[in-house]
């Protein structure tokens, strides 16, 4: 059961709903910002180039910083991608 639009909605649910509204209305920078807040860097990185390459790189750097302690192959790829 989802409580969108009610005081019972979880913060994550409200942020996801806001992100979807931003995406539908073409406000891609705001969409990416909310997705970063939710920790979904992949979705943010998918739409960030439509804002600017600098914005995309900023999000890639934030993801690389988040994964800095991680020694996985994905973390290494992210660090390389972020330059």
DSSP per position, 45-67: HHHGGGT-HHHHHHHHHHHHHHT
6 occurs within a structural domain: no
pTM of the shown model: 0.76
Q: How many domains does the chain have?
A: 1
- Residue 6 tokens, joined: 């009610």
Looking at the domain assignment, is residue 1 inside a domain? no
Tokens 């909605």 sit at which residue?
Answer: 9
Look up the domain containing 29 and give its range: 11-82
As a whole number of angstroms, the distance between CA 33 and CA 48 comes to 9
Segment 47-80, tens digit of pLDDT = 999 999 999 999 998 988 887 776 666 666 666 6
């Amino acid at each position: 059961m989802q409580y969108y639009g009610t005081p019972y909605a979880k913060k994550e649910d409200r942020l996801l709903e806001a992100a979807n509204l931003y995406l539908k209305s073409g406000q891609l920078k705001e969409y990416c910002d909310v997705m970063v807040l939710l920790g979904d860097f992949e979705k943010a990185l998918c739409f960030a180039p439509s804002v600017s390459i600098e914005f995309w790189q900023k999000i890639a750097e934030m993801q690389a910083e988040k994964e800095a302690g991680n020694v996985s192959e994905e973390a290494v790829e992210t660090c390389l991608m972020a330059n």
